[in-house]
Chains A and B, each alone.
Chain A
Amino acid sequence: MRSLRTWGPGLLLVSPSILLIGFFVYGLIGWSVNISTTNSNSRFERVAGAAQDAHIGFSNYSTLFGSPDFILSLKHLGILAAVYIVGSMFFGMLWALLLEKGVRAEGLFRSVYLFPMAVSMFASGVVWNWLLNSDTGKTATGLNQLFDMVGLGFLKSHWWVSSPTWGIAAIAMPAIWQLSGYIMALFLAGFRGIPGDLREAARIDGASEFQLYRHVLFPQLSPIALSALIILGHMSLKMFDIIMAISGEKNVYTSVPMVTMWTLTGQQDFARAAAVAIILLVLVALLVVPYLVHNSRQEKNA
Chain B
Amino acid sequence: MTTATIPAPAPTELHRKVKKTPRSQAVRTVKYALLILFLLVVLIPAYVLVVSSFKSFGEALSPNRWSLPSSLSTDGWSAAWTELSPALGRTLLIAIPGAVISSMLGAMNGFVLSRWRFPGANVIFTLMLFGMFIPYQAVMVPLLEFLPMTGLGRGVPQLLAVHVVYGIPICTLIFRNYYQTTVPMELIEAGRVDGAGLLRTFRSLILPLSLPGFVVTMIWEFTSIWNDYLFAVFLSSKDNGPVILGLANLAGSQIVPYNEVMAGALIVTAPTLLVYIVLGRWFVGGLMAGAVKS
Contacts and interface: CB of A to CB of B under 8 A. Distances in A.
Interface of A: 7-11, 13-14, 16-18, 20-21, 24-26, 28-29, 31-32, 35, 91, 95, 98-103, 108-124, 126-131, 139, 141-142, 145-146, 149, 177, 181-182, 185-186, 188-189, 192-197, 199-200, 223-224, 227-228, 230-231, 234, 237-238, 240-241, 244-245, 248, 258, 261-262, 265, 270, 273-274, 276-278, 280-281, 284-285, 288-289, 291-293, 295-296, 299-300
A280 B7 contact: no
Interface of B: 1, 6-14, 31-32, 34-35, 38-39, 42-46, 48-49, 63-66, 105, 108-109, 111-113, 116-119, 122, 124-131, 133-135, 137-146, 162, 165-166, 168-169, 172, 197-199, 202, 223, 226-227, 229-230, 233-234, 244, 247-248, 251-252, 258, 261-262, 264-265, 268-269, 272-273, 275-277, 280, 283-284, 287-288, 290-293
Contact of B229 (A99, A122, A223): A122
B128 A177 contact: no
Given A25-B139, A277-B135, A292-B130, A118 B276 contact: yes
B135 A120 contact: no
B7 A192 contact: yes
A102 B116 contact: no
B185 to A, nearest CB: 13
A contact face: mostly helix, strand, loop, or mixed: helix
A2 to B, nearest CB: 9
A222 to B, nearest CB: 12
A139 B63 contact: yes
A289 B137 contact: no
B138 A118 contact: no
A119 B35 contact: no
The SS class assigned to the B binding surface is helix
A30 to B, nearest CB: 9
B112 A13 contact: yes
Contacts of B199: 9, 13
A146 B113 contact: no
